[in-house]
Chain A
Amino acid sequence: MDFANLASQLNAGAILPEGIVIITLLVVLIADLIVGRAADRWTPYVAIAGLLAAVGALYLGWNRLETVSFLGSFNSDNLSLVFRGIIALATVVTILMSIRYVEQTGSDLGEYLTILLSATLGAMFLSGSEELVMIFISLETLSIASYLMTGYMKRDLRSNEAALKYLLIGAASSAIFLYGSSLLYGLSGGSTSLAGIAAGIANSSQSLGVLISLVFVIAGISFKISAVPFHQWTPDVYEGAPTPVVAFLSVASKAAGFALAVRFMTIAFPSVSDQWQFIFTALAILSMILGNVVAIAQTSMKRMLAYSSIGQAGFVMIGFVIGTESGYASMLFYLLIYLFMNLGAFTCIILFSLRTGTDQISDYAGLYQKDPLLTLALSICLLSLGGIPPLAGFFGKLYLFWAGWQAGAYGLVILGLLTSVVSIYYYIRVVKMMVVKEPQEMSETIKNYPALSWKPFGMRPLQVGLILTLITTSLAGILSNPLFNLVNASVADVPLFEAAVPIRPAAPVSLQVPATPLSAVVPQSAPQAQTLNVNLRS
């Protein structure tokens, strides 16, 4: 059986973007191994080029005819394409902001990029997995890479502490998720594909076993998106971890978690949709209230953004729980915008801490006098996160709340509006600190602010990232029509759970699913396809 046949039979073209990321990862690793530290000058750009190529490959894969690949393990539908695009772009911006940071802390850039790229790979695979084993392996790839990156600053005690906490809590949540998955395997009579599970548990939908497995799976997912009862790791990890890693965790890891949630809940649990809707509503309410209220009291910028990201996850969950088509579309739209505004804010924080070595909010006082560009970018990003009208975040929230209102989730929307007002308070506080203070009220740090220079190594990419996120955050709201079209087209094939219970034709032997259309497309591969199936069934 020759290779081309096999590849077309498995529909291997669906994972072309991930293949590009793997090759980039290997190139970076081997270049670092052979050339040594001198390779630090160009390996980040190789990584960025690879990720952009992956985004291009994602674009080429839009509207594939045959989306299921690798015998049902992976589904490269339009929804997964958008999620994978969000993750890859988030990594690009993260790399832009981390070159200088990693160099200045004296850590190795090559290994950092390798681990970051494998985290991206895990997150991208997670967005399209439709099978329990695949979901677990990609989830672990993402998680283990995240633990490693959290502890990357070996000589920083806070980084070590954060990594250990993250590892312990993450391992516990993985175990809980795995227990829920194994229950599902048993309840459905030995099926690991999500569609097969839905078919298997359709009859016994109200049994205690299904509910317990639902709760355990949701617990595992909520840890990834740091929804409130499972959020305890977030502030400590965000404070201790290297700042670019925090930026990655707050956007890419969260997007992957939402992708997993949408896929798992809509495909595997359509029969208990009331129950999971209820659980996620509770999580959304708690996240919005706690995240936004506790953020007021924070004095460290990173901790404040940690709690704000919990609150933002609560807003995104509104779009998820209402379960309508516009709900999913608004969730994707908000994630796309959140990518740029949150990463923009983190870029600014990194720039500030590189120049001054602190991230206390009080140290930002009077920054406007010394660094207008940084002040402008940070203000725009924070105001956009708060949802002030002409900026992108306002349109994202508007769409989310509009979709929620249409679906009749009045309570959630009103709570979202109220907590948004609270969030505006603490975002504006930082802006006021930077802009309004008189020159004599300047903090000591600002008085000693170093002269602006973009010349040193790694500053130029940081500047590019800053400008890029600034422009996108300012304009993506006003010029949002292409984004609207993108997200609306991508959610067209999400199974809505109001529909009848069997979402897809339930396949008892899931191996057979891709065989028939493929043999129609590639006639000469038909005999092989059949022998493959026969072997597997025996």
Chain B
Amino acid sequence: MNLAEGVQTISFALLALMMIGAALGVVLLDNIVYSAFLLGGVFISISGLYLLLNADFVSAAQILIYVGAVNVLILFAIMLVNKREDFSPVPRRWIRKGGAALVSVGLFALLGTMVVQTPWVIPANLPATTSTLIILGEHFFSDYLLPFELASVLLLMALVGAVVLARREYVLDDEASVGEMPQLPLQLPERPKEPVALSGTSAPSR
């Protein structure tokens, strides 16, 4: 074992330990904020694994998207729903926990056996890649062109859907009321949606 392989093995072991520890913490801890932060740890360890696999762009994207966007969004959601509520303990909770643990261990055993048993096809001489970005780009504009373009429609639709779900149409006052007590934003009366086409009058747009 030369130096490079040794470094690789040790960093793999460290990353794996980090990831498994953080993942267990996500599942087992009671405080949801700790779980959310530990989830960020899981994502970062995964991006480290990607680096070990020579996938530098994927690793950067993993940090940007999962840690930077998804995890922050989860934290925001937790902090916005800042509601302390003590849940009454479910009777016989250990049965459910035991069942979940049993299923997880069984699944792990099955998948582990599979990974060990399967003769994986490993290409013998992989060419050394200097920049994965160029290869990714080539794939995006050749054999993965159609999924790449379809993803744009998917994103457009998701955007429209998100706007539809999140939109609230408030009644706005005509004149600005200076000096009055401002209403709480969540108690603004929502404008009733009048079906324009039903009433027959072609009212102007929203």
Contacts and interface: CB of A to CB of B under 8 A. Distances in A.
* Contact-size category for A: 35 or more
Contact of B157 (A36, A73, A115, A456): A115
A306 B115 CA distance: 39
Interface in B45-75: none
B100 interface: no
B206 A36 contact: yes
Interface in A96-128: 103-104, 106-109, 111, 114-115, 118, 121-122, 125
A200 B161 CA distance: 40
Contacts of A40: 196-197
Is chain B's binding surface mostly helix, strand, loop or mixed? helix
Contacts of A458: 197-198
Nearest to A163: B165
B202 A71 contact: no
B165 A190 contact: no
A148 B121 contact: no
A192 to B, nearest CB: 8
A189 interface: yes
A73 B121 contact: no
Interface string A505-538: 0000011000000000000000000001001100
A38 B121 contact: no
Contacts of A29: 160
A209 B111 CA distance: 8
B197 A118 contact: no
B204 A36 contact: yes
Interface in A308-347: none
Contact of A73 (B145, B151, B192, B206): B145
B184 interface: no
Contacts of B206: 36-37
B119 interface: yes
B147 interface: yes
B195 A104 contact: yes
Contact of B118 (A190, A204, A511): A204
Contact of B117 (A73, A107, A152, A208): A208
B146 A70 contact: yes
A321 B37 CA distance: 47
Interface residues of B, number: 45
Interface string B148-176: 00110110111011011100000000000
A138 interface: yes
A115 B160 contact: yes
Contacts of B94: none
B84 interface: no
A40 B121 CA distance: 56
A279 interface: no
Contacts of A536: 138-139, 142-143
B2 interface: no
B205 interface: yes
A134 interface: yes
A212 B121 contact: no
Contacts of A121: 150, 153
A392 to B, nearest CB: 33
Given A148-B158, A148-B165, A207-B119, 7 more contacts: A106-B192, A122-B154, A131-B143, A134-B144, A208-B117, A510-B143, A511-B143
Across the A-B interface, the 6 shortest Cβ-Cβ residue pairs:
A36-B205, A189-B121, A148-B161, A209-B118, A118-B157, A106-B193
